[in-house]
Amino acid sequence: MAHVAHKFEHLLQFYRRPDRRKWSAAQLAKATGGVVPRSYVTNLRKGRIENPDYEKLAAIARAMGFPPEVWFEEVLGSGGELDAALHASGVAGKVEHLLTTIRNPTTREPYTNVEVARMSTGVLAEEDVEGIRTGRIADPLVSQVAALAAAFGVPPSYLLDWGKDTSVLDEEVLEALAEKRTGAILRESARLPQRERDIVLGMVR
């Protein structure tokens, strides 16, 4: 199977652990019950295994929470699965794509709105997730976008519309705004007159 190492890197980036961190070789070895040794995972990532064993690939898929057949979808080898999500229609389309693609590794089912809200550590309510998914909230707050991205382990820019000017929203800013208090500070300071915002900025600095 061509480009297995490249494909594996995409899968590791897209299908993350419940805490949204990437799987390590040791963690995958443990999650597969030893079916896939740590050294095998490492060699697979480094491209040293050109013809991997199907049972081992299936064990990795089960541990990470994706269908085993994804390994054999050649489009994913060139980043097609990620590209499809990136070009989905607006934030709602991208969020829906994430929810239908990334499964809960414990239940093997798609994440519910309640679970996503819980994963956002209080930034999003269940109603917020539902509203963003359905498009009712067509222009979510930056803090909400950042929280959704953090919940699924993707860059915040992944969920932003390409047509918008997002040059001022670098990764550091977006990640900071995912924190509940930081987002609250932004919302409150935005209501202040310019002079008072300058005072607040001076205090923070």
In this predicted model, what pLDDT tens digit does every residue of 27-61 receive, in sequence order? 999 999 999 999 999 999 988 887 888 889 989 98
Cβ partners under 8 Å of residue 48, min gap 6: none
Distances (CA, A) of 31 to 28, 45, 64, 199: 5, 17, 8, 52
- Say which residue, 83 or 133, is predicted with more confidence: 133
88-204 has which CATH code? 1.10.260.40
Confidence of residue 137 (pLDDT cuts 50, 70, 90): confident
* CATH superfamily entry for domain 4-83: lambda repressor-like DNA-binding domains (1.10.260.40)
Tens of pLDDT, residues 105-114: 778 788 899 9
Confidence of residue 76 (pLDDT cuts 50, 70, 90): very low
Phi-psi region of 199 (alpha: psi -120 to 50; beta: other; left: phi over 0): alpha
Instruction: Tell me what pLDDT residue 202 has.
Output: 80
pTM of the model: 0.43
Cβ partners under 8 Å of residue 114, min gap 6: 126
**CATH 1.10.260.40 residue window(s) in the chain:** 4-83, 88-204
